Chains A and B, each alone.
Chain A
């Protein structure tokens, strides 16, 4: 076991998947010689060759569309979208083609395509480099959508995503790429499409995913100092959305706060709040609250820290929940 960054864990997971299955391909802009702008594919072209690690032309619709063709031919392409805000030229191919092929072929055609998207803010970038578009994909039946939050999950989830026979949109918290954790590659991973309780508690359920898991854990620690026991759940899978784990928790705690960077309106939190309300109505001590990005375009970097949910805003929501 060794301390490994989240980004390095992804790199190791991709390498393992390529070793295990010769049909696995990597494709995207700058993924080859450069190893990707975040170096997630570093060294893979050198070791697996240009046929398996493809520097593509600069065309996202082309990346997804040709990945669909490669998948029809039996390959398992892993596409890198360089930044969240650059996925939109490929959105048509993802939503109108990738998501529906299995359904409209009555299950005859499978598209085991993984689309990796570094997402979220907090890195001081210019526009289109800090967005959280996960709800657009989670809203689309036929796509599976997962988010990793730590090195262990990153290493295993990327392999599980590649092994999945449905298309998977794989979100990576780019602001956490350099955060380290102990990675034991010999363990048996948990199933990917399940939420995980990352900190047990009794008084309130705090739900997060991706970059906000760290913030949620910090909030739980801060709340403990005030005598409040917060249970923190890392959703991990947004589609299918494992609301059962959340519901079970809220039935015990009676309170829920959901945190994400994406704009609040019609985000993952909205769906989860609806499900919790439906299934925990008689257990709830207060309304389900959401802490998200505001309902504005992502702002200039100089004010992004004010825009993004942070420790104070999460604790403020916790206070409001207990104030009901």
Chain B
């Protein structure tokens, strides 16, 4: 990796669009070599990635559609970021632990979280209903950057458990975006992870936009270069390349699990959709930019590779993935539509491990209050 950045400051280009990045699969579907990183998997693994990418994209599209139809309150689309998420998610081992933002739907699926669970949060039925400890996938964090400190603390716990230092060690991966790098919490997480030598990988999906605010309002140097100032390595990877995202993340996680401390990965990608379904990107960015990134689509390049290499995948494979995606979409649509709303008194539950007397009293009083309407209605009906 080079550390050329002066050109960016000289030209004023947005945080180093010209900086070299780790790429193992080009937008045209060509496998390429990199001196420091290689993809050590098989074509079968790549078929698996393709399936993950397609299913992730389909779930995301279903999320957008369900919001448009009023079934969800809001949806945060990951369109364009599938490879960064699937590559990094698949690089994790079972003992590793992920701390996501609210957009890591692809990572969630890699960790075995049923996507319906994600939709429940955006529907307003719950605030995160999956079992974080079962999946080693924390609840979504909406407040920007806060989870990077949680990830660092979790990694310190791994150290104290003696579960780090050899090839079977555990590591943590913290997801966040380019906007989050401006938050104090994220910078504090970098410092803590560095001085504690914590087994944590900071995985920044630089999708170029924090709602309407472009990258150049968050940084004047490429994000990965910030790591040097905190005292650990940083690397920029083509976030639209699932092979490179996998290889770079795997190396960083292995580095962490063997006791060699944190790494900052900048997955260079693009938020092809709106920030969320309530956002209108036409107010602040030009269509040409989107076209440019469409040519770097993370899914189509994998398909091109598989199609081009005889025997890597046949028509039946692609058709089967499509069928599976259709079935998944149908199921999550149905299960979302059928998802019950919580009982009103449920909001008194779990404020503390044990209810306070006041909470118990308030719950009972509120239940009686609600029942008084039923009684009134029955009385009216009886006359």
Residues of A within 8 A of B (CB): 29-30, 32-35, 37, 55-59, 61-62, 85-86, 88-89, 124-129, 265, 294-297, 299-304, 306-307, 312-313, 316
- Of the candidates A29, A37, A58, A312, the one having the most CB atoms from chain B within 10 angstroms of its own CB is A58
Q: What is the CB-to-nearest-CB distance from A256 to chain B, in angstroms, rounded to a whole number?
A: 20
Known contacts A126-B74, A303-B342, A303-B344: does B182 contact A59 (CB below 8 Å)? Answer: yes
B183 and A58 within 8 A (CB): yes
Residues of A within 8 A of B348 (CB): 294, 296
Partner of B212, one of A33, A61, A128: A33
Nearest Cβ on chain B to A68's Cβ, whole angstroms: 15
Given known A-B contacts A124-B124, A303-B344, A30 and B143 have beta carbons under 8 A apart:
no
Could you list 13 examples of A-B contacts with CB < 8 Å? A29-B210, A29-B213, A33-B284, A59-B184, A62-B184, A88-B143, A128-B142, A128-B143, A294-B366, A295-B362, A296-B347, A300-B124, A303-B342
Could you tell me which residues of chain B, from 120 to 141, have a CB within 8 Å of some CB in chain A? 121-127
Find out whether the CB atom of B143 lies under 8 angstroms from the CB atom of A55. Answer: no
Q: Given A126-B122, A127-B127, A296-B351, A89 and B185 touching (CB < 8 A)?
A: yes
11 more A-B residue pairs beyond the given contacts A56-B213, A56-B217, A126-B121, with a C-beta to C-beta distance below 8 A = A34-B283, A55-B217, A57-B217, A62-B184, A85-B143, A89-B143, A127-B142, A296-B359, A299-B342, A300-B342, A304-B124
Chain B residue at minimal CB-CB distance from A293: B347
Q: Is the CB of B127 within 8 A of A58?
A: no
Distance in angstroms between the alpha carbons of A125 and B72 in the assembled complex: 10
- CB-CB under 8 A from A313, the residues of chain B are 369
Structural contact, B213 and A55, CB atoms closer than 8 A: yes
CB neighbours of B144 from chain A (8 A): 58, 86
Size bracket, chain B contacts: 35 or more
**Most chain A beta carbons < 10 A, residue from B125, B346, B347:** B347
Tell whether, in the assembled complex, residue B126 and residue A300 are in contact, meaning their CB atoms are under 8 Å apart: yes
B218 CB–A CB distance under 8 Å = yes
Q: How distant is B369 from chain A, measured CB to nearest CB, in Å? A: 7
Is A59 a contact partner of B183 (Cβ separation < 8 A)?
A: yes
- Determine whether the beta carbon of A34 is less than 8 Å from that of B212: yes
Q: How many pairs, one residue from A and one from B, have CB atoms within 8 Å of each other in the complex?
A: 114
Report B-chain residues with C-beta under 8 Å of the C-beta of A56.
213, 217
Is B127 a contact of A300 with CB atoms below 8 Å? Answer: yes
Contact of B124 with A33 in the complex, beta carbons under 8 Å? no
Q: Could you say which residues of chain A place their CB within 8 Å of the CB of B184?
A: 59, 61-62, 89
Are A57 and B121 neighbours in the complex by a CB distance under 8 Å?
no
Q: Which residue of A lies closest to B124 (CB)?
A: A301
B210 touches A58 (CB 8 A): yes
B73 touches A125 (CB 8 A): yes
Interface status of B358 (Cβ within 8 A of chain A): yes
CA gap between A157 and B280 in the complex, in Å: 30
Chain B residue with the shortest CB-CB distance to A307: B347
Smallest CB separation, A27 vs chain B (Å)? 12
CA distance A264 to B73 in the complex (A): 27
Return B109 CB to nearest CB of chain A, in Å: 20
- Asked whether any CB of chain A lies closer than 8 Å to the CB of B341, the reply is yes
B211 contacts A by Cβ under 8 Å? yes
Q: A33 vs B126: C-alpha distance in the bound complex, in angstroms?
A: 33
Question: Are A294 and B362 also in contact (CB < 8 A) when A29-B213, A37-B211, A124-B124 are?
Answer: yes
How far does the alpha carbon of A30 sit from the alpha carbon of B358 in the complex, in Å? 41
B3 within 8 A of A: no
Q: Which among B122, B180, B278, B344 is the interface contact of A58 at CB below 8 angstroms?
A: B180
In the complex formed, the residue of A with least CB distance to B142 is A128
Against A, the Cβ 8 Å flags (1 = close, 0 = not) of B196-225 are 000000000000001111000110000000
How far, in whole Å, are A35 and B184 apart by their CA atoms in the complex? 25
Asked if B182 and A125 make an inter-chain contact with CB atoms under 8 angstroms apart, the answer reads no
A29-B210, A294-B362 known; A300 vs B217 contact (CB < 8 Å): no
Judge if B106 is at the interface, Cβ distance under 8 Å: no
Chain B's nearest CB lies how many Å from the CB of A97?
A: 14
